[in-house]
Amino acid sequence: MSLFEKAAITGIGETAHGRGLQHGSALSLQMQAALAAIADAGLSPRDIDGVIPVATGAAVAEDFITNFGIPDLRFSATTPMGGASCVAAIQAAAAAIAAGICRHVLLPIGRTGYSGTRIGARVHEMPQFRTIGEFELPLGNIAPAQIYAPMARRHMELYGTTSRQLAEIAVTTRQHAILNGNAAMTKPLTIEDHQASRMIADPFHLFDCSLESDGGAAVVVSSAAAARDLRQPRVLVMGVAEGHPDSPSVITQRPDILKIGLAKAAPRVFAMAGVKPADIQVAEIYDCFTYVVLRQLEEIGFCAQGEGGAFVENGALALGGRLPVNTHGGLLSQAHLAGMNHIVELVRQLRGQGGAAQVAGATIGLVTGYGDMGDGSIAIMRRG
Amino acid sequence: MSETFTKPVPHPTPDTQPYWDGLARGEFLIQRCKDCGKLRHYPRPVCDGCWSMAHDWAPASGRATVQSWTVCHHPFHIGFKAESPYVLLTVDLAEGVRAMGQLRDMDPAGLRLGLAMELGFERTAEGPVLPVFRPARQ
């Protein structure tokens, strides 16, 4: 059995994005987004019979489940993959739906990444970073910018990738955020602005790094059959997969530090969906750092290994470009909601609800997640 | 008079204590599977080649080559503010495992993939001994 078109995304919801616009705990932001997604689908909270809370930082899964008031919850799970968790949760939800366990699975996230614990302190408080915490934190390897930078540096040394090419990604993403109407960063950005921004962890400038955000986002995954009767145009999950890198304890210890879990997941998802990279009209690519977008484009097969730098040049990722990417502004310029906002945006695009950032005629697209251990997740969807 | 800030220190587990004890003696110990002989680092309970939990420890020669690096400008922990910018070097040890340490005695502008480095040891003000790397002597 394959998960091909067994499930559909039927509801999407987000809080307002932008510093100072949100009030409340990570749990309340998570619930606010959950209620919005359920209402968007035309469902009631009592219709939800499955839940996969994406627990990062302060919000834990049990807290959501025990407080949300679901009368007959039949399926619960978590996907322990950091930023790859949200898209991986689509796979878990679709599997539970295909097995007949449940019909409507809620995937909510809430974060206080700005007003709560900041990234420099958060990472080594997280048990999943125990290995980095013991062996690399005492050396000064503290935050993701430092942890990821050696991957980007090696890519540059091996393939000639440049900081200006990384800047292309930041600039395009900002252009899209400006069109969004619900994004934290709304000031135009140029390649020169990026190059002049302060160095965080070489080769990452400030504008290579994603935001720290307060907010929430949620989606409802329903059985493909049940989705026919709901409020919104149906968006079917054609394929979904997760993949983990070799020996994933920490980046430094991977046999090939450039190789990521997505390399294993991408062939699986295209085989399940029965399409090729050339069929994808819009892509929402997890963008904790500009480099991570570039590398995933290679591993998905939009370009050859090492050619990501040339691929992203000249506005290739902009609306009207060869592959519109992160049409909502991503983690770099909309908000850091661990990629749940990427799923929300893909669904919006495929429904034709993309507003000023709509990719004309988009009917098929993909979304990825990327976790700090190199974990990858990917889903291909179509309007149907 | 300047304020001082304490850096984070490692919290060893029974699985990892021999590594830290080795550093304190000026030895860099690599875990070795007693069944298949595969070396692994950082220390962990099971061999990812044959899943044996039996292991001993082998000292590293100290020879290394550059795998990658980053120059850290923004101090994400206040304990590192005074020494910023500092260079975190990722190296391939001659034995075939990866290690990380700060760069010493070299301008990072001269770093290249594959450059020969050598391991050193530094005792920190906080107590633990940490590995560092400097250009290999000819």
pLDDT in tens, A356-383: 999 999 999 999 999 988 999 999 999 9
Distance from CA of A142 to the nearest CA of B (A): 6
**Cross-strand pairs, A378:** A241, A368
Looking at chain B, the domain(s) classified CATH 2.40.50.840 span 61-138
Name the percent of chain A lying above pLDDT 70: 97
For position B1, what pLDDT does the model report? Answer: 41
* Centroid of chain to Cα B120: 9
What is the rounded distance in angstroms from the CA atom of residue B138 to the CA atom of residue B132? 18
User: Would you call A108 helix, strand, or coil by DSSP?
Assistant: strand
Q: Nearest residue of B to residue A201 by CA position?
A: B72
Q: pLDDT tens, A301-338?
A: 999 999 999 999 999 999 999 999 999 999 999 999 99
For the segment B100-113, the average pLDDT, to the nearest whole number, is: 98
Distance from CA of B125 to the nearest CA of A (A): 12
φ, ψ dihedrals at B67, nearest 5°? -95, -45
Closest CA to A48 of A40, A38, A62, A39: A38
Q: Which of A117, A118, A124, A134 to mutate to test the interface with B (most CBs of B within 10 A)?
A: A134
Distance from CA of A119 to the nearest CA of B (A): 8
Q: pLDDT tens, A181-230?
A: 999 999 999 999 999 999 999 999 999 999 988 899 999 999 999 999 99
In chain B, beta strands by DSSP E: 29-33, 39-40, 55-59, 63-72, 86-93, 98-103, 116-123, 129-135
Please tell me which of the candidates A134, A202, A257 has its beta carbon nearest to residue B11: A134
Q: Which of B88, B102, B112 to mutate to test the interface with A (most CBs of A within 10 A)?
A: B88
Q: Do A142 and B113 touch (CB under 8 A)?
A: no
CATH architecture of A7-116+210-383: 3-Layer(aba) Sandwich (3.40)
Q: Do B69 and A134 touch (CB under 8 A)?
A: no
**Contacts with B, A 305-364, CB within 8 Å:** none
Distance from CA of A337 to the nearest CA of B (A): 21
Domain extents for chain A? 7-116+210-383
| CATH annotation of B61-138 | 2.40.50.840
Give the contacts of B29 (CB within 8 A, at least 6 positions apart): B18, B19, B22, B23, B57, B58, B59, B60
Task: Enumerate long-range contacts of A270-274, CB under 8 Å, 24 or more apart.
Answer: A270/A239, A270/A301, A270/A380, A271/A239, A272/A2, A272/A3, A272/A4, A272/A238, A272/A239, A272/A240, A272/A241, A272/A380, A273/A4, A273/A238, A273/A239, A273/A380, A274/A4, A274/A238, A274/A239
